[in-house]
Structure 1
Amino acid sequence: MTGTREALDTAPTLDSRRRNIVFVTIVLGMLMAALDQTIVATTLPTIVADLGSAGHMAWLVTAYMLTEAVATVLAGKFGDLFGRKLVFQLSAVIFIAGSVLAGFAQDMLTLIIARGIQGVGGGGLMVTAMALIADVIPLRQRGKYQGAMGAVFGVTTVLGPTLGGLFTDHASWRWCFYVNVPIAVVMIALAAKTIPTVRPASRPVVDYLGIALVALGVAGLILGLEWGGSEYAWGSPMIIGLFAGSVVLLAAFVLVETRVPEPMLPMGLFRNRVFTVCSILSFIVGFTMLGAMTYLPTYLQYVDGVSATESGLRTLPMVLGLLVTSIISGNIVSTTGRYKPFPIAGAAVMALGLYLMSTMGRDTGIWLESLYMLIFGLGIGLSMQVLTIVVQNTVPYAQLGTATSGVTFFRTVGSAFGTAVFGTLYTGKLDPALAAALAGTGIPPEVAQSPAALRALPDEVSAPIVEAYTAAIDSVFRWVVPVALVGFVVAWFLREIPLRDSTRARATELGEGFSMPDSADRVDQLEHAIAQVLRREQRKKTGPPGPSVRVLTGGTVPETLVWAIGAVHLRTRVRGGATLTGIAEDHMVPVGVLEPVYREASQAGFVAIEGDSLRLTDSGAQQAAVFRRVWRVWLDGKLEDWTFDDPADRALLDPALDKIAGDLLDEQSSRPAFAPLTR
């Protein structure tokens, strides 16, 4: 997951209208990918009723999460190799293909394959969406856009089940997939027209072998867990072979990661106790959250006899609890810098919520069920919010992007494992209980698998069948309680280190709370941190953050000349040369308005005028360098709580900050409001 963006081809400066269109385009990609993580939760019983194969139900979620986890790694690398715009568009095409195939699927195997294809496209969309934000949105404004993107991801993820229920009840479960097609087509067209092409100058090395080994190893473990006790006996050669093969593949993965130049997951990260603890906790949170979100609607439809839409609405207390504690814990962490109590309390509350949900039955009232789900959601929200930012706070700069994507990777893999284990426990308990309930009744299994058909049966006939579903799902929740308790124990080993100011600024982002896939590029991560600092500075005072003109020049250069120097510097860097006409067009003012400014700049010796062409003199170039150094000092002051024990790490950070200082200077020079004459 190592990535660098030490140099980029410069993206053109976008006006606010085009910038907003680009943002909407990127949001559409994020929305579709996040939605399809959870939209199938309320459709599963109906899909089983239509296609059969109840034992494979969990794979509709697992296939998506597993391929998404691998795709987020590959897409980040391919974006650096071929350009993020191209990868974003190709990911959308793959997502469309998976959606169409899922909508037309006539059997469970085809639908599972389609979900896997969707996961490849969804993973690519999510990780390139965040990278594109870094490419096209100025750093001063990036914080609010990243915050909005995180909110879209979080809200869409948790509302997916309700939307899936609406489609299922009022159209067909197939429309959960068909609806993606027109949205993706519009998104691809908008991307082609509006998103600029920005290609990194560096050519990263892709750890293909490491990615293949971990993907095959994890897939083998999940297959073994899914098939064990249902398709094959636990002691059968197939299951033993899958587990043994997975162990060998994962051992080979560890060996490869210690030898390749740019490993997907550097093993040295695990020497950092904070990273190790947060990775385990992230896995456990993903395991419990998505597993519960997948099977709660199934419980509500089979046991309580509600519709798909109502089952989605009935899970909203869990969503509410999750959102409330994510926001509250994020704000407390941001204010106090203390984070250790939250994962400890979160794991304990999750375990309590799982236990309470395992006691639910036909006689449990709606308000009590809602309370149990609310408690479970409160625990998830307390646990999720701090894991990524805590890791970012402790790893060296060189490993900033890798560690961030590593924690997210473990959360996604945990979601895949959780759904698979929930499915194994569910099938193992349900199959014999359902067979016993149906024995001698003459009711075909197809009726028992359909919530609508089950609701149509007389109570005395349906009661044993409903009890079979109750016992199966309650058993699942009960067996997962120890997993949450393991998280409670592990959380006590989390070392609390004072949070950097830049890290605190990220704690309130909703996307952080949901472990949104993010760029594995350390420069992107550094810019993200600085963007949040700039956003917080802007909230504290009116006007843009950063050093004032007086600070830039020591009061020796008039404001108009500071702007004039900066505008020439910016256009020369972006376009290779500056003209009076070009600068006037950039700022939408008549050339005659700027002529006196540049005559004054020429008389002061800062700018040389040759016809319409403008060029910085040595004195002007020195002034621009001074402005840039002032910005760098300002950045150093905002990041003064970053520690660098390794000189090599500092050597990587310095050029990155120099580049960011130059970008901030150019952004300052691109604002018309910075020049009084253009107001």
Structure 2
Amino acid sequence: MGDLTQKKKVTIMIAIMVAMFFSAINQTIVGTAMPRIIAILGGMEHYSWVITIYMLTSTIATVLVGKLSDIYGRKPFILAGIVLFMIGAFLSGFSKDIYQMITYRGIQGLGAGVIMSSAFTAVGDLFSPRERGKWMGVMMAVFGVSSVLGPPLGGWLVDNMDWKWLFWIFLPLGFVAFGLILMLFPKTVRKTSEKIDYLGSLFLSLAIIALLLGFSWGGTKYDWGSAEIIGLFVASIVFIVVFIFVERKATSPVLPLSLFRNDIVTISNSIGFIMNAGMMGALIYLPFFVQGVEGISPTYSGYVTMPMSIAMVVVSAITGNLITKTGKYKRFALIGMPIMIAGMVIMAFMNSVWMAVVAMIVFGLGLGTGMPVFSITVQNAVSPAQLGVVTASSQLFRNLGGTIGIAVMGSIMQSQLVKNMKAAVSNSGFDVTKIDPKAAEQLAEFQSPQMLLDQPKLEQLKQTLPAELQPVVTQMIDTLREALSASLTTVFLAGAFLLVVALVLTFFLREIPLRTSNKMPGEDTEAGKSGEVISSNE
């Protein structure tokens, strides 16, 4: 795409960002309302699976599309991703139970993975690494805007309309995004010499599925030491070994092992994995504090997360321009990540809505400063011939980190909640056996933390109870909130610890100058022609 005019490139970027916004807004609009949706559909024990399946399918789609888009071009995959995402969103609105919701969210995840992988790679096709800084900042801002609009809108919709409209309201935007990409995005000629690595794709997918299922089911559906979980981890290792063997023989590997001989790619992907594990694993439970502990409605819950998004939008745009201006990137990661850690620590000890808002602002400042860096580092370290696979590898490790983080944090959350509930009930001195069986049956529903996530239902049930039980109900609700708050503290501290590990790794990231063109030094050599990773210091 190097022969396109600047005006044409900007027009294509607008089309790409519309497609990204369509995917992102559908995510953020659902996030705040999901606790209420799960409370309506039932199955809180499967709450993390609604998120995990989305991350799992998007992860697999991301890594497979990376190589395929290097062969067939980005356009057909962005279009296919939009269609898949729209189908998943449309069907999600018809979910009758938690299992249907999980299935349809999986289809949405496939579409999202295809869209995001193709979109971020297309930026590399259009602009040199030096120019990508400001465009990565703009793309982060797109996510930020969706994060600003989505949560309050999602909260308002679930409070005032049928929750199905959360999935349907932005479907028209999908048609707009499809039309813009179809008309504006240039068609890429297929590289006829490239062969599709079917065998490598199969074993990589099997390894990812077994790994993520192991982490998702461990500590929840099965004990960590159970035969099922150990079997999944063993299967994942076996599939990875077979995958490595296949890739060493493949003429056009789906994920070239040569990428990981480049220390910049390896360290950047490791940081992305750990950072997303801590960040996603902890932040996914923020609505539990706002809605469950503080009793805020989903409408106003969205306003609590809005400051983080606004801070991220502003700072990511500034950071992107500074990266383009200076050609430096490492310093921004070293500044941003400690700020993210500080925000996470504040979350661990927050005891009011205002402290939650402060935590969101601090975290958003750090996120906007540090997050744009790691997509640029990997793209700058390889030949343009491998732009698709290296971008896919970056997103693969981020998605794996996020998915595993959510699963592990979910396990921590559940185990801590059970422990804290037992301790809270013991300390309260309340004994349900001392009241009559009928009253005990009525009070049983107030012993589940899921009740805290549906405030209207909670109030409705309270009104049905006799006056003499009202003080008991109030005590039980307070006990639930204390147990939930203590459990969330553990989750946020675990997230902060992982971010510290990511910060330490950042010090070992080698910084090389950002190129001002899409050609690698020595591209006229055999290495440059073949698309091998070049890891010189330029």
Q: Which amino acid aligns with 2:512?
A: I
In structure 2, the partner of 1:498 is: 513
2:269–2:398 CA contact under 8 A, matched in 1: yes
Deviates more, 1:216-225 or 1:477-486: 216-225
Distance 2:132 2:481 in 1: 51
Cα displacement (A) at 1:142: 11
Task: Describe the shift of the 1:28–1:329 C-alpha distance in structure 2 as closer, same or farther (beyond 3 A).
Answer: closer
Q: CA deviation at 1:201?
A: 3.8
CA distance in 2, matches of 1:333, 1:129: 20
1:401 and 1:76 map into 2 onto residues whose CA distance is 5
1:152 aligns with 2:142: yes
Instruction: Describe the shift of the 1:455–1:465 C-alpha distance in structure 2 as closer, same or farther (beyond 3 A).
Output: farther
Residue 302 of structure 1 aligns with which residue?
Answer: 292
Name the counterpart of 1:477. Answer: 492
Q: Kindly report which structure 2 residues correspond to 1:388-467, keeping only aligned pairs within 5 A, or say none.
A: 388-434=375-421, 437=425, 440=432, 442-444=443-445, 445=448, 447-454=451-458, 459-467=474-482
**Cα distance, 1:107–1:471 mapped onto 2, change above 3 Å:** same
How many angstroms does 1:311 deviate by? 1.2
Distance 1:143 1:276 in 2: 20
Q: CA deviation at 1:240?
A: 1.1
Which of structures 1 and 2 has the bigger CA Rg? Answer: 1
Which of 306, 310, 316 pairs up with 1:316?
306
Counterpart contact for 2:312–2:365, Cα < 8 Å = yes
Equivalent residue number for residue 357 of structure 2: 370
| Distance of aligned partners of 1:319 and 1:183 in 2 relative to their CA distance in 1, 3 Å threshold | closer
C-alpha offsets along residues 575-631 of structure 1, whole Å, 9 cap, x if unaligned? xxxxxxxxxxxxxxxxxxxxxxxxxxxxxxxxxxxxxxxxxxxxxxxxxxxxxxxxx
Matched residue, 1:359: 349
Cα offset for 1:83? Answer: 6.8
2:483 match: 468
Q: Which residue of 2 aligns with 1:644?
A: 522
Partner SS, residue 30 of structure 2 = coil
Distance 2:134 2:262 in 1: 31
Alignment-mate amino acid for residue 370 of structure 2? S
Match of 2:272 among 260, 265, 282: 282
Q: SS of the counterpart of 2:93?
A: helix
Distance in 2, matches of 1:439 and 1:501, equals: 71
Alignment partner of 2:110 out of 120, 137, 140: 120
Aligned counterparts of 1:129 and 1:292: Cα–Cα separation in 2: 27
**1:399 and 1:431 mapped to 2: Cα distance?**
48
Q: Of the candidates 257, 265, 271, which is equivalent to residue 255 of structure 2?
A: 265
Residue 112 of structure 1 and its aligned partner are, at CA, apart by 0.8
Q: 1:650 deviation in Å? A: 4.4
Alpha-carbon shift at residue 347 of structure 1 (Å): 3.1
Contact 1:44 1:298 in 2 (8 A): no
Q: Which residue of 1 aligns with 2:466?
A: none
Shift of 1:99: 1.5
Give the C-alpha shift of residue 62 in structure 1.
Answer: 1.9
CA 1:49–1:261: 2 relative to 1, 3 Å? same
* CA shift for structure 1 position 117: 0.5
Cα distance in structure 2, aligned partners of 1:254 and 1:466 = 48
Paired with 2:38 and 2:485, the residues of 1 have a C-alpha distance of: 17
The partner residue of 1:178 within 168, 179, 183 is 168
Cα distance in 1 for residues equivalent to 2:29 and 2:458: 23
Change (3 A) 1:331 1:423: same
Structure 1 residues 303 and 36: alpha-carbon distance in aligned structure 2, compared to 1, 3 A threshold: same
1:332 Cα offset (Å): 3.5
- In structure 1, the residue matched to 2:436 is none
Q: Residue in 2 aligned with 1:293?
A: 283
Does the Cα contact within 8 Å between 1:99 and 1:180 map onto a contact in 2?
Answer: no
Q: What code does the residue aligned with 2:408 have? A: V
Q: 1:422 to 1:175 in 2, by over 3 A?
A: farther
Q: Distance in 2 between matches of 1:423 and 1:71?
A: 24
Distance 1:246 1:187, change over 3 A: same
Letter in structure 2 aligned against 1:226: S
Residue-by-residue CA offset, 1:308-334 (whole Å, 9 max, x unaligned): 121111012322343344334334433
Structure 1: state its 5+ residue gaps: 503-525, 527-638, 654-679
TM-superposed CA distance for 1:307, in Å, is 1.1
Cα pair 1:318 1:378 within 8 Å, conserved = yes
Q: Deviation digits for residues 212-264 of structure 1, max 9, x if unmatched?
A: 32332222222222222221122111111111111222222223222212222
Instruction: Tell me which amino acid in the other structure corresponds to 2:376.
Output: I
Matched, 1:198 2:187: yes
Q: How far 1:87 sits from its partner (Å)?
A: 4.0
Which structure carries more relative contact order (alpha carbon 8 Å, separation 6+)?
A: 2
Residues 134 and 324 in structure 2, CA contact (< 8 A), matched pair in contact too: no
Per the alignment, residue 40 of structure 1 pairs with 30
Distance 1:57 1:365 in 2: 24
Alpha-carbon distance in 1 for matches of 2:120, 2:481:
45
Calculate percent identity across the aligned residue pairs: 37
Q: How far apart are the structure 2 equivalents of 1:131 and 1:379?
A: 24
**Alignment TM-score, normalising by the size of structure 1:** 0.65
Any idea what the Cα deviations from partners look like across 1:247-303, whole Å, max 9, x if unmatched?
222222223222212222222222221111111111123223333332112210001
TM-aligned CA deviation for residue 476 of structure 1: 0.7
Larger fraction in helix: 2
Per-residue deviation, residues 77-124 of structure 1 (Å, max 9, x unmatched): 555666755544433332232112211111111111111101112222
Give the structure-2-normalised TM-score: 0.81
**Helix, strand or coil: the match of 1:40?**
helix
AA aligned opposite 1:387: F
- Note the 1:319-358 alignment, pairs <5 A: 319-358=309-348
> Which stretch shifts more, 43-52 or 181-190?
181-190
| Residues 118/479 of structure 1: CA separation in 2 closer, same or farther (3 Å cut) | same
Question: Relative to structure 1, is the Cα distance of residues 195 and 650 closer, same or farther in structure 2, using a 3 angstrom cutoff?
Answer: closer
Asked if the contact 1:454–1:462 (Cα under 8 Å) also holds between the matched residues in 2, the reply is no
Is 1:32–1:122's contact at 8 Å kept on the other side of the alignment?
no
Q: 1:266 to 1:159 in 2, by over 3 A?
A: farther
Change (3 A) 1:119 1:342: same
The worse-fitting range, judged by mean Cα deviation, of 173-182 and 231-240 is: 173-182
Matched residues in 2 for 1:166 and 1:83: separation? 40
Aligned to 1:97: 87
SS at match of 2:512: coil
* Distance (Å, rounded) in 1 between the aligned partners of 2:266 and 2:156: 40
Q: How many residues align?
A: 499
- Report whether the alignment pairs 1:248 with 2:235: no
- Trace 1:376-391 onto structure 2 (pairs within 5 A): 376-391=363-378
**2:523 is the alignment partner of 1:486:** no
Question: CA, structure 1 residues 448+432, in 2 after alignment: closer, same or farther (shift >3 Å)?
Answer: farther
Is the Cα–Cα contact under 8 Å of residues 52 and 403 in structure 2 kept in the other structure? yes
Residues 435-468 of structure 1, C-alpha deviations (whole Å, 9 max, x = no match):
7659726241363452433467564342101112
**SS at 1:229 equivalent:** coil
User: How far is the alpha carbon of 1:305 from its aligned partner?
Assistant: 0.9
Are the structure 2 counterparts of residues 648 and 215 from structure 1 closer, same or farther at C-alpha, using a change threshold of 3 Å? same
